[in-house]
């Protein structure tokens, strides 16, 4: 596959979309933007709902790849998750198949496997083939997205890298995030690797920086050519002083998904 240049970025108005809009052009991409909401400062961005099949078909036409970030990014009612994340992702894959787009990079989540116990002490890192254990309907939609990606690879030869993103924010803001943090610069490096690695079929990777307190195995991400440059450790002393160490007796602290396993934040719309 020739290196992709024109990439459709769905969810471009969101937090991660905004960070990646700033960082990905330096890796050589021209971005076509799509979101349900207008994208600030981007009058050419496509304003469309993932439910709009015609708009999706037009949006994907002629692009070399898609980075699919759009959707509900917190817990919500099953009906809302079904429409935006499950049917919406299906609609996008169908549009990609119909228009012959060869590759999707799918924003999966740690919450697809949120009930995996977090490693402690000398426990091994969580492997990439740990079974799906979604912690919410939101996590369930990410498990679905990974399976959909596998189906479209096996049946239609449409490649996907599913990235189980930890927490991609400018700085880690919790003790849990010290293990899952992906700096925005590393996020862009990982997306670039996922767009350019050859013969990915359907590959699932964890998405984080090379954190000292890492909980999961980054080897499938590194195999794509991803070389993380950042580590959350410089933030550790302050966050632990403010919040204390994780308490293994607390169910939210005992699992990868954190408070999504017990009291997930709810999508506000």
Q: Which is nearer to ligand NAD, 1 or 90 (CB)?
A: 90
Binding mask 8-47 for ligand NAD (x = CB under 6 A): ---x-xxxxx-----------------xxx----------
Beta strands in the chain (DSSP E): 6-10, 30-35, 46-47, 65-68, 103-109, 159-165, 202-207
Told to judge if 138 belongs to the known catalytic residues of this protein, a careful annotator would answer yes
Pairwise CA distance, residues 35 & 10, whole Å: 6
Burial label for 57, CB within 10 Å (0-12, 13-18, 19+), is middle
Q: Please name the helix (run of DSSP H) or strand (run of DSSP E) that holds residue 90, with its range, or none.
A: helix 88-99
Q: Which is nearer to ligand NAD, 167 or 196 (CB)?
A: 167
Pairwise CA distance, residues 71 & 105, whole Å: 14
Residues 140 to 169 in contact with ligand NAD, rule: CB under 6 A: 165, 167-168
Residues 165 to 204 in contact with ligand NAD, rule: CB under 6 A: 165, 167-168
Q: Which is nearer to ligand NAD, 37 or 266 (CB)?
A: 37
CB of 181 to ligand NAD, least distance (A): 9
Q: Can you say how many angstroms the Cα of residue 231 is from the centroid of all Cα atoms in its chain?
A: 19
Strands 6-10 and 65-68: parallel
Residues 45 to 64 in contact with ligand NAD, rule: CB under 6 A: 49-50
Pairwise CA distance, residues 81 & 267, whole Å: 10
- Among 138, 206, 226, 235, the active-site one is 138
- Which residues bind to ligand NAD, rule: CB under 6 A? 11, 13-17, 35-37, 49-50, 69-73, 84, 88, 107, 109, 165, 167-168
The catalytic site residues sit at 138
């Amino acid at each position: 596959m020739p290196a992709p240049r024109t990439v459709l970025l769905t969810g471009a108005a969101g937090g991660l979309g905004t960070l990646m809009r700033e960082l990905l052009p330096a890796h050589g991409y021209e971005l076509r933007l799509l979101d349900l909401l207008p994208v600030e400062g981007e009058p050419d961005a496509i304003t469309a709902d993932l439910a709009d099949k015609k708009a999706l078909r037009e949006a994907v036409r002629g692009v070399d790849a898609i980075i699919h970030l759009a959707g509900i990014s917190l817990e919500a009612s099953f009906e809302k998750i079904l429409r935006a994340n499950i049917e919406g992702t299906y609609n996008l894959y169908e549009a990609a198949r119909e228009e012959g787009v060869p590759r999707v990079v799918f924003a999966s989540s740690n919450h697809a496997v949120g009930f995996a116990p977090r490693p402690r002490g000398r426990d091994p890192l969580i492997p990439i083939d740990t079974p799906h254990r979604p912690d919410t309907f939101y996590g369930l939609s990410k498990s679905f997205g990974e399976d959909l990606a596998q189906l479209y690879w096996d049946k239609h030869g449409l490649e996907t890298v599913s990235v189980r993103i930890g927490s991609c924010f400018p700085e880690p803001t919790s003790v849990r995030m010290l293990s899952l943090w992906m700096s925005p610069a590393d996020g862009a490096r990982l997306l670039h690797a996922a767009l350019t690695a050859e013969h990915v079929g359907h590959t699932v990777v964890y998405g984080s920086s090379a954190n000292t307190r890492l909980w999961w195995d980054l080897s499938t991400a590194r195999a794509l050519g991803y070389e993380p440059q950042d580590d959350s450790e410089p933030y550790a002393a302050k966050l632990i002083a403010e919040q204390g160490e994780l308490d293994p007796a607390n169910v939210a602290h005992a699992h990868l998904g954190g408070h999504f396993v017990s009291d997930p934040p709810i999508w506000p719309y």
